[in-house]
Structure 1
Amino acid sequence: MDSTATQEAPELAVRCLLDNVQGLVDALSCIRWKKQQDAICELSEHGMVITVEEWTCLQARVYFRKELFREYQYQAGVRPRFGVSLALLIDCLHTFTSSTGTTALELCYPGPDMQLLLKLIDANNSCINAEIRTRIPESIPREYIIDDEGNLPISFAVKSAALKEVIDDLEWPGSNITITLSPAPPGVSFRGEGHGDLQIDLPYDTQQDLFIAFQCNRHVSHRYKYKFLRATTSQIPNSILKDNRGSKVTIGSTGLLKVQHLISVRPTHAQQHHYMDPSQVHARVSYIEFYVMPDEDDNNEGTQ
């Protein structure tokens, strides 16, 4: 046989075992704000980052650190980056969530034709294999940085369910939402202007169980498109809302809005019993980040 006729398969850059597939499905579902979305997955020695962008107005990222995997083997010289359909990835992963047993899902990249390979053998020795076609990304996701111009970052943190409820209530006026933070009296207000006017005030009170944190030493006010603001909370699964670890909102000096959700990626009770290090169970927390640019027609004064 002519050896030149046989093309060798590329070496695996990443091989990892994931215990809680549902945790990854929930996290990816948070950043799926429309049916057809392209995602970019970047693999590194630190773990996996999946990014989705909407023009230059909205970006979302899911971070899965290597500590969240049962095993994480990385041997690439250059960080692999590939594009994939977000809907296809979620639907494919969802087929593995119904399997029973304690065997983890194996993820490998790249396959012979640069696919993402998934494999699971459950307690009944049933083997499920899947291959997801990937593509070469046309661009690199933009790196957003919250610039505070040397000042303390303006931020607040509340329970995730509370933040989602506030943003959902603002759907009626729609169009534009102005977020204002004030140090005196301390609090946050959301004002919607569109079909009507609606203002929701959240006064800061350390005695209430609403705020987890509040940091504001100057008045800040910026306006955002409602459809982009809504994308930061609209698809949070009930499992994350019930866990209620909290959501943090930070506003930069230019009005760039960052919304961060903490999610728990806990293995099942059976998985903990068989192979989990008890000291690591409570450390299995990942996070999701959204970046929203202010409205281009924003005529607010911003910081004062």
Structure 2
Amino acid sequence: MDDGTSQYYFTASMDSGKILCSLLKAIQFQESAVFCAMPEGLKVTVEEGKCVQASAYVPSDNFNEYHVRADADVMFKVSLAVLTECLNIFGSGDESSLKMYYRCEGSPLLLVLQPQTVQNVMTDCEIATQTADSVLELRDEDTTEVAKLVLRAPAFLGLLADLERSCDVIELHLSPDHPHVSIVTYGMQDRSCIDVPKSSDMVQSFSCERAVSLRYQLPHIRLIMKALAISSKVVLRCSSNGLLLLQLKLEKEDQRQMFSEFYIVPLLDD
């Protein structure tokens, strides 16, 4: 970054924006996202009604340089579709260095991208921003965690891909006793069930305090599939109020972490 970065609320740079682009595409199920730059890293959040909330997290150590002014609140709404298109402007096959700048409230998010394979070529992008609405707080501090599973992401992705697409409801049964995990789907005319014991190759760890049965919209669960495709593992946490949290660790060659989180609200009992 140049010496003039003090005029900006937020500045950051990284050798390649390719992985960042993949992570953002994994939560791209709405047009707009809330972009929040904090001292510890970057968080980008999308919501679908009051039913699903997904966030991409990029800790600050993933950037070569990263700075947020201490006296600034860097939070704004931006088009996620435009942001990912800009990050991919040189094509998905090329690695491009990335610099980001945000001057102040109401100003555009500035991107500077330079392909690593071509000398003396770069592009500047300005993406309009809007004042961000407040993000839903779905977590309830008074609830307890009743179950936690760590699953291999590729295997879980395969399981979701095999579920009948005509089904619109998924029922999750978790129990300390065998078969431990049962996934039941309901469609217009059929019902199917898949049992996943804790001894399964898919399951890396399993803990469950008591038997619990919860229902969700299957299309909401399917929203995690893009994130699963680029992840190595997924941590599934179920709260006593039925709120489902899925934390997905991104596949990376180095030891630095990027990850996404999905909160999914259960269906109410009839």
TM-score (norm 1): 0.79
Q: Which residue of 2 aligns with 1:289?
A: 261
Displacement of 1:171 in angstroms is 3.3
- Alpha-carbon separation, structure 2, partners of 1:99 and 1:27: 16
Displacement of 1:149 in angstroms is 4.1
Which of 212, 221, 230 pairs up with 1:229?
A: 221
**RMSD of aligned alpha carbons:** 2.4
| Number of aligned residue pairs | 262
- Alpha-carbon separation, structure 2, partners of 1:133 and 1:251: 37
- Alpha-carbon separation, structure 2, partners of 1:221 and 1:237: 23
Which of 159, 169, 172 pairs up with 1:176?
A: 169
Query: Residues 285, 146 of structure 1: CA spacing in aligned structure 2 closer, same or farther, 3 A cutoff?
Result: farther
Q: How does 1:1-304 map to 2 (within 5 A)?
A: 11-33=7-29, 36-96=30-90, 104-110=97-103, 114-122=107-115, 123-137=118-132, 139-145=133-139, 149-150=143-144, 153-195=146-188, 196-205=190-199, 208-233=200-225, 235-236=226-227, 238=229, 240=230, 244-266=231-253, 281-282=254-255, 284-296=256-268, 298=269
Greater Rg over alpha carbons, structure: 1
Counterpart secondary structure, 1:236:
helix
Displacement of 1:97 in angstroms is 5.6
Identical-pair percentage: 29
Question: After the TM superposition, which of the residue ranges 208-217 and 54-63 deviates more from structure 2?
Answer: 208-217
Counterpart secondary structure, 2:7:
coil
Query: Residues 99, 108 of structure 1: CA spacing in aligned structure 2 closer, same or farther, 3 A cutoff?
Result: farther
Q: Which runs of 5+ in 2 are unaligned?
A: 1-5
1:103-126 residue CA offsets vs partner (Å, 9 max, x unmatched):
731111137961111113445021
Conserved? CA contact 1:167–1:230, under 8 Å: yes
1:63-89 residue CA offsets vs partner (Å, 9 max, x unmatched):
011011011122141321111111111
Displacement of 1:147 in angstroms is 5.3
Q: Give the letter aligned to residue 162 of structure 2.
A: D
Conserved? CA contact 1:147–1:253, under 8 Å: no
Counterpart secondary structure, 1:81:
strand
1:216-235 residue CA offsets vs partner (Å, 9 max, x unmatched):
121011000111111122x2
Q: Which residue of 2 aligns with 1:5?
A: none
- Alpha-carbon separation, structure 2, partners of 1:48 and 1:87: 18
Displacement of 1:264 in angstroms is 3.2
Q: Which runs of 5+ in 1 are unaligned?
A: 1-9, 267-280, 300-304
1:232-284 residue CA offsets vs partner (Å, 9 max, x unmatched):
22x2374x1xxx52111111000000111100344xxxxxxxxxxxxxx32x1
Q: Would you tell me which structure has more strand in proportion to its own residues? A: 2
Q: Give the letter aligned to residue 246 of structure 1.
A: K
Conserved? CA contact 1:180–1:220, under 8 Å: yes
Displacement of 1:52 in angstroms is 0.1
TM-score (norm 2): 0.88
